[in-house]
Structure 1
Amino acid sequence: MHSIGEMARDSGLSVSALRFYDRAGVLVPAWVDPVSGYRWYDPEQCDEARLLARLRRAGMPLADIRLVLAGWSSADTDLVRGLLQAHLHRLERGLSDARGEFSALRAALDHRENPMTSSLRTATARLSVSAPELAAALDAVRFAASTDPELPMLGGVLFDLDGEDLRLVATDRYRMAVARARTAGHGAGRAQVTVPLPLADAMRALLGGEEPVRLTLDGHRVALETGDRQAAGQCLDHDFPDYRRLVHLPTGRRTLVDVAAFRKSLATGPVRASEVRKQDGTAYDLSVLQVADDGTVTVCEDGDDDRDHIAVNREFLLQALTAGARAELILEFGASTAPLVIRRPDDEDTLSLLMPVRLED
């Protein structure tokens, strides 16, 4: 007999997915321990699990998967071939429809003008900013920047200047970080540039002193000067997403955590079997969190799948805690489908958002 962990490793399905398919009656364990509830599988079921994983990656509905598995076990090849062919035709029709919709969207984008964004990117601003504050802001957001070549508009740090407030923003879709630094010398008006990551890193390397530095944004070029040293270059020629729409979330349950203790519980606590991100095939470990009535945050044991728990990429959460740069941080929990928000108690405008991961396949 194979344990559920062994079945997950050998089949490519996660432990949580195997539990889901058991509850759905798609792949039922050969035996369940009546005392512990632990699931055990016959070795022959591993082939079925691998087949199930392939069908789910191909997007086949569960109702059809049940029939495919039944036909597979009974060697009813005509049934299996018919179901596979029907699903392939559905995918082809869906792809054709999607191509048509995307073609219409691209045409709409080609004809759409955004005067506000254009004016923000071409506005010129010269200002003074505290070197320690700018360094801290870069450190707080750098971890969330994207390195995906398919999304070049996310491959940098947004510098969003509004009056005397400078906000730095980075996102890779799965997480987002926002930090603020105060400025002087700019006054009213708003300007935005997206600084490529190599240039942002070069700027950070100059921010070792305590004196204010000079920052110039002109829409196409950005320059940071300190003393006789300068880091300057072209900005990304892409519009950054409107991050302000993404940070307005319903108020969730808030709790203050000791970062050192929480990091230890994450590093040594249970994790789910590695999930694989569908967009890029990247494997990662999940930590599943719950909040008690007294505000205590617990890393759940494998098998604890309450709907109110939130699952997040453990590495991303550890990076966000480091970027928070405080001994204590506020964790804000909404619904299990809402982002986990990490805030500083003394500066709630500096925050990180982590997108949750569905536990059930």
Structure 2
Amino acid sequence: MRSIGEMARDGGLSVSALRFYDRAGVLVPAWVDPISGYRWYEPEQLEEARLLARLRRAGMPLADIRLVLAAWSGADTDLVRGLLQAHLRRLELGLSDARSEFSTLRALLDHRENPMTSLNTATARLSLPAPELAAALDAVRFAAGTDPELPMLDGILFDIEGEGLHLVTTDRYRMAVAQARTTGHGGLRTQVVVPLPLADAMRALLTGEEPVQLTVDGDRVTLETGDRQTAGQSLGHEFPDYRRLVHLPAGRRAHVDPATFRKALETGPVRPSETRKQDGEAFDLSVLRVTENGTVIVCDDGDDDPHDVAVNRAFLLDALTAAARDELVLELGAPTAPLAIRRPDDTDTFSILMPVRLED
């Protein structure tokens, strides 16, 4: 007999997924301990678990999976082949429809006037404190994208407006925003996307306390400090309108000690996510809950609550490191709403993480 943990490890399904498929009557354990409720599986069920994992990765509906497993156990290969072929046809038709829609959307984008074009062709020169720019770069660098299919995210947005400079990064799964004070810029709002190698070179110059000069001249960006400077070309892509993405619905706020919370994440329970990937990599989930007394706990596997929020644990640890404060505020809304990590003394520097839907 295999324990549920062994079945999860060898079958390619998470423990929570196995519990769900038991409740759904799709993959029922051979025996359940009447006292502990622990599930045990026959060795022959490993093949069914692996088949189930493959079908779910292929996006087959649960109703069809039931039929495939029933036909598989009954050696009805004709029915299995028919169900697989029918699902493949649905996927091909869906892909064809999606390509048609995306072709139409690209045509609409090509013909639509882009109101942001002037932001990338402006000229700006401003001064700002070196420590503030260094802190802002440190606060957002972790969330920058690296996907070659989305080159507009492979950099840091420098958004200059009034007396403030906002730095923004996102890789679709998370976003980080930071602000630094500026002087000398009295023109229109200017935006430029600085490639990561240039941003890292800028950070390397920011070792002193003196003000530095940032110059944007069309697609060229220059940072000067004393007798040193670094310069390069900006990315020729538009960055998403981040201001529309950071207005989050009101949620539950909880103050956390970063060191204590980090230890709870590192040593607490996780849920492996073999069937979900971000940028091609599987990841572990931490499931968070705000208790009645206002503290945040990392939930045990299977201890589900409708208000729990699941996030990529590694991404959350990165956000805690980048925030660099003795106290942080976590804002948890609905399980489908982003999780915000804020500094209590700085409302303009924060990061948000997209939640991950738990196995169903």
| Equivalent residue letter for 1:191 | T
Corresponding position of 1:215: 214
Superimposed CA distance per residue, residues 250-283 of structure 1 (whole angstroms, 9 cap, x where no aligned partner):
1111011111111111111111124454454301
1:322 aligns with 2:318: no
Aligned to 2:311: 312
1: CA distance, partners of 2:196 / 2:308: 34
Partner of 1:156: 155
Aligned to 1:340: 339
Matched, 1:176 2:152: no
Question: 1:68-113: per-residue Cα shift (whole Å, max 9, x none)?
Answer: 0000000111111111111111111111111111111111122122
CA contact (8 A) 2:2 2:40 kept: yes
Aligned residues with identical type, % of pairs = 79
Counterpart of 1:103 in structure 2 is 103
Which consecutive segments of 4 or more residues in structure 1 shift more than 3 A? Answer: 274-280
For 2:167, the aligned partner's letter is L
Contact 1:276 1:282 in 2 (8 A): no
Q: Report the number of matched residues.
A: 360
Distance 1:260 1:289, change over 3 A: same
Residue 217 of structure 1: SS of its match in structure 2? strand
Deviation at 1:306, TM superposition (A): 1.5
Deviations for 1:272-297, whole angstroms, at most 9, x for unmatched residues? Answer: 12445445430111111111111111
Tell me the distance in 1 between the aligned counterparts of 2:48 and 2:21.
12
On the 8 A contact 1:275/1:286 being kept in 2, the answer is no
2:353 partner letter: L
Aligned counterpart, 2:225 = 226
What residue ranges of structure 1 are gaps of 5+ in the alignment?
none
Alignment check: 8 A CA contact 1:276 1:284 kept = no
Q: Which residue of 2 aligns with 1:194?
A: 193
Q: Is the Cα contact below 8 Å between 1:157 and 1:194 reproduced in 2?
A: yes
Asked whether the equivalents of residues 125 and 216 of structure 2 are also in contact (C-alpha less than 8 Å), the reply is yes
Aligned to 1:40: 40
Within 2, Cα distance between the matches of 1:97 and 1:357?
A: 27
Q: Any gaps of 5 or more consecutive residues in structure 2?
A: none
Q: Structure 2 length as normaliser, TM-score?
A: 0.98
Structure 1 counterpart of 2:8, one-letter code: A
- Counterparts of 1:1-361 in structure 2 under 5 Å? 1-114=1-114, 116-278=115-277, 280-361=279-360
Contact 1:216-1:222 within 8 A present in 2 as well: yes
RMSD of aligned residue pairs (Cα, Å): 1.2
- Structure 2: how far apart are the matches of 1:17 and 1:314? 19
- Contact 2:13 2:275 (C-alpha < 8 Å) held by counterparts: no
CA contact (8 A) 1:121 1:218 kept: no
**1:120–1:219 Cα contact (<8 Å) kept:** no
1:37 is displaced (CA, Å) by 2.1
Distance in 1, matches of 2:321 and 2:218, equals 31
Alpha-carbon distance in structure 2 between the residues aligned to 1:139 and 1:247: 19
Structure 2 distance, partners of 1:328, 1:36, is: 40
